[in-house]
Chain A
Amino acid sequence: MKKYFLILLMSIAGSIAAAAQEYWRPSAELVERARQEPVIREHIERYISFRRSIESEKSLLDIHYTIQPDGIHISQTLKYDKYSNMQDFGDHYVIYYSENDPYITPEVRAYTTKTFESVLCLTLDQEKYSTYNLSRLCDAWMTWLFYITGYSIYDDWDFKRPKKERETTVTTSKDIADAAIKICRLKDWSRDSQIALLNRYLSDRTSTTWGGRKELQTSSQFSDVKSVTPDGIEVCAALLDRSGYDAVSNDSSKAVEFIYKDNPLVVIAARTLGLPLCIHLYDMTRFGTKTVFTINPEAL
Chain B
Amino acid sequence: MKRFFPILLFLMLGIVSFAGDPVKPLPAKAQAYIDKVKQQTRSEYDARHITDNESLSSSFKAIRGTKSGTKVTFDEKNPEAGVQVWFVVSWYRMLDNDVPTGEEIEAEFNCDAAPGAIAYGAACALYRGCPLTIGLKPDRFFEETGLHSSITLTHEELIAICSSKL
Contact = CB atoms under 8 A, between A and B. Distances in A.
A287 B92 contact: no
Nearest to A202: B90
Interface string A239-269: 0100000000000000000000000000000
B97 to A, nearest CB: 9
B12 interface: no
Contact of A284 (B90, B96, B139, B145): B145
Contacts of B91: 224, 236, 238
20 contacts: A206-B140, A207-B140, A224-B91, A224-B92, A226-B90, A236-B92, A238-B91, A238-B92, A238-B141, A240-B141, A240-B144, A280-B92, A282-B92, A282-B95, A284-B144, A284-B147, A287-B145, A287-B147, A288-B95, A290-B96
Interface of A: 206-207, 224, 226, 236, 238, 240, 280, 282, 284-285, 287-288, 290
Contacts of B140: 206-207, 224, 238
Contacts of A288: 95
Interface in B116-142: 139-141
A116 to B, nearest CB: 21
Contacts of A207: 140
Nearest to B140: A207
Nearest to A207: B140
A290 B95 contact: yes
A270 B140 CA distance: 24
A284 B141 contact: yes
Contacts of B96: 290
A268 B140 CA distance: 24
Nearest to A203: B67
Contacts of B139: 206
Nearest to A285: B145
A238 B95 CA distance: 10
Contacts of A285: 145
A226 B141 contact: no
Contacts of B145: 240, 284-285, 287
B92 A226 contact: yes
A31 to B, nearest CB: 32
Closest 3 CB pairs of A and B: A236-B92, A284-B145, A282-B95
A50 to B, nearest CB: 26
Given A224-B92, A284-B144, 17 more contacts: A206-B140, A226-B90, A226-B92, A236-B92, A238-B91, A238-B92, A238-B141, A240-B144, A240-B145, A282-B92, A284-B141, A284-B145, A285-B145, A287-B95, A287-B147, A290-B95, A290-B96
Contacts of A287: 95, 145, 147
B138 to A, nearest CB: 10
Nearest to A237: B92
A224 B96 CA distance: 14
A151 B145 CA distance: 43
